[in-house]
A and B are shown apart, each in its own frame.
Chain A
């Protein structure tokens, strides 16, 4: 965990140690956890199928091992690709398409301030 140096490119402030999620080793751990969990649930699905555990599904295809996994994965990839390659070219316009963009800093009068007493 301590293998990453304090001069990680992710940390924007000099002299500041990188946060937990900015260390590559930790990011790797999180990712490994995700991959492991994915694999685990596919295995569980297969085991259910093999031992004949009934999940009481509404449709026959829900019994196929990995149906939800494949569906979720494909759905998201499709979602992103359609949004990126079909929708965005159709609907994306410049930010001032409707009206000029206001000065970001002048947006909120209470910006960053506010008394903490509740």
Chain B
């Protein structure tokens, strides 16, 4: 591989996205794959002396590429996932899908490498574009609407972030993308702006609302980039902010209740995504070397297994057109490899020993215990059991086992299998050999932050927890107490903008259009015609009214006066008078005016 150490990966991705859009159909997919591989190569070749990617905007120095342990590990996994993602959608050979994926990847890497808040903001906004493109590639009415909602929410979040950055820069004079800490309005706005993308409670309802509407391949990119870039930015800007511990705890626990009763398996995965990001946010909030290492490691592992799970359910959807638990089941016979890959993803998210979640999630839990957050530790343990229950068991069980849906289909396309195979291999490899490369990439390499996942106590405790969670699932299922899968919508905070948005629309419709109608009725229909009538009729009436005494004085009979009056009226309205009469009238009028 050529030395790509000096090239900004985002450049490769953005140029590639354009190139793919222009490429003819035949070589298109190979161009897309080549771009993704090149980008990954560039990420691997990142070195701290790389650059110089600096620029000057107004009076600010922009740092487009900052390479350190934090940015390197995130750039690495973002680029790796772009290869897996492009491989996964290779059979589609869709211009828009490839471009969306590459643009999205470029934006995410750009965020990871940006060294100042302004550069960060630019890439942050491009992320939204990538996601919206991933949504519309599904090409359904629902996905189009979801794309609109996604765009509105993220545009709003982006504006909040931008306002925060502007205030922060005005307050401190610094655009440094480093530890900001909560002080001053600017920092709070930045905090909330990041929180929108990080899918915090209330702010994050867009995630479970829109992800299940994305295209089969698009959701793989979405599940990877938006929330994890937000975690990365949080870890950079607010490490050790205790509020985040509680926010993360809420994220890790609340969505799993929803996941249990959710029917759409891709939405179940979206809930468990928030649950897992919650662990990372707790890690950021604890702010110790171990917990921040845990956040980075968990983001790395999570991206792999979450993508794997979304890919396996996506493959099922590709072959069957369905993603709802009520319509699936028994597919292990038709799609055995996909089933195995799904189970590997499920084991990884559940943190089974030898799978990737085991070596990363426990770092955060250990850090919580060490810092004395008993309630948080208990909640995370609950969430660990819960995630196995709803993602680890429910996803493979309802898709591939459960009752036989009667669906018989082909195994997933070869390129999908290869993509899933790579992700599955990495899940097991990272889980089994965490020291091979993952732990070596973590930001804090001091002995204080060192961690050993494979102790006898940890392995037996984790297995006990998981086995008894499985036991609970089994017993509830067999007793008929497990909530039946029902085709339904479950209300969440997206209600606020979906129904609220409609109410807002309704209210503004009534008020503004009502005002409009009222003004139209009074002014356009009433006032203007009367005005026009006034100007056409008033002079004629006035004339007749003035002439009557003249005619009476000249001794005409009432009948003659009436007929004269009519003629006069018509003439006055049409403005046609014999000139002599008009002049006479004018003189008379002047005389009239002069006299009074």
Q: Which residues of A contact B (CB under 8 A)?
A: 10-13, 19, 21-22, 31, 34-35, 37-38, 41-42, 44-45, 48, 53-59, 62, 66, 68-73, 75-77, 79-84, 87-88, 90-99, 102, 104-112, 114-118
Contact = CB atoms under 8 A, between A and B. Distances in A.
Contact of A72 (B139, B216, B408, B469): B469
A95 B464 contact: no
A83 B457 CA distance: 31
| Most chain B Cβ neighbours within 10 Å, of A12, A59, A66 | A12
Contact of A95 (B406, B472, B488): B488
A66 B488 CA distance: 38
Given A19-B332, A76-B386, A110-B318, A94 B413 contact: no
B20 to A, nearest CB: 17
Interface string B85-96: 001001110000
Contacts of A75: 381-382, 385-386, 469, 472
Contacts of A71: 381-382, 385, 465
Contact of B461 (A55, A87, A112): A55
State the main secondary structure of chain B at its contact with A. Answer: helix
Contacts of A45: 460, 464
Given A41-B460, A91-B490, A10 B403 contact: yes
B258 A87 contact: yes
Nearest to B253: A79
A60 to B, nearest CB: 11
B482 A55 contact: no
Given A10-B404, A11-B404, A58-B377, A107 B321 contact: yes
A31 B320 CA distance: 29
Contacts of B468: 38, 68-70, 72-73, 76
Contact of B482 (A80, A91, A102): A80
A82 B370 CA distance: 30
Interface stretch (B8-16, B352-360, B473-481): B473-481
A108 B321 contact: yes
A55 B382 CA distance: 20
Cβ-closest 5 pairs across A and B? A55-B457, A118-B415, A12-B406, A58-B369, A76-B472
B91 A114 contact: yes
Nearest to A109: B139
21 contacts: A10-B404, A41-B467, A44-B460, A55-B460, A57-B461, A66-B464, A73-B471, A75-B381, A75-B385, A79-B386, A79-B390, A83-B258, A84-B483, A93-B488, A95-B488, A95-B489, A107-B321, A112-B318, A116-B91, A116-B413, A118-B413
Contacts of B366: 58
A87 to B, nearest CB: 5
Interface stretch (B140-148, B189-197, B569-577): B140-148
A42 B482 CA distance: 25
Interface string B357-393: 0000000001001100010010001100110011000
Contacts of B504: none
A56 B362 CA distance: 14
A70 B467 CA distance: 11
Contacts of B457: 54-57
A46 B405 CA distance: 43
B261 A92 contact: yes
B472 A77 contact: yes
Given A59-B374, A114-B91, A84 B260 contact: yes
Given A45-B464, A114-B91, A117-B414, A79 B318 contact: no
A45 B467 CA distance: 13
A111 B321 contact: yes
Interface string B448-468: 000000011110111111111
B333 A19 contact: yes
Nearest to B476: A80
A107 to B, nearest CB: 6
Contacts of A21: 332, 401
Contact of A108 (B257, B318, B333, B465): B318
A106 B490 CA distance: 24
B409 interface: yes
| Most chain A Cβ neighbours within 10 Å, of B377, B409, B473 | B473
B486 interface: yes
Contacts of A82: 257
Contacts of B467: 34, 37-38, 41, 69, 72
B517 interface: no
B492 interface: yes
A8 B563 CA distance: 106
B525 interface: no
Contacts of B319: 112
Nearest to A70: B468
B491 A107 contact: no
Contacts of B261: 83-84, 87-88, 92
A59 B483 contact: no
Contact of B491 (A34, A35, A93): A93
Contacts of B466: 72
A68 B90 contact: no
B90 A104 contact: no
A77 to B, nearest CB: 5
Given A21-B401, A91-B492, A93-B488, A107 B471 contact: no
A44 B319 CA distance: 44
Contact of A87 (B257, B469, B472): B257
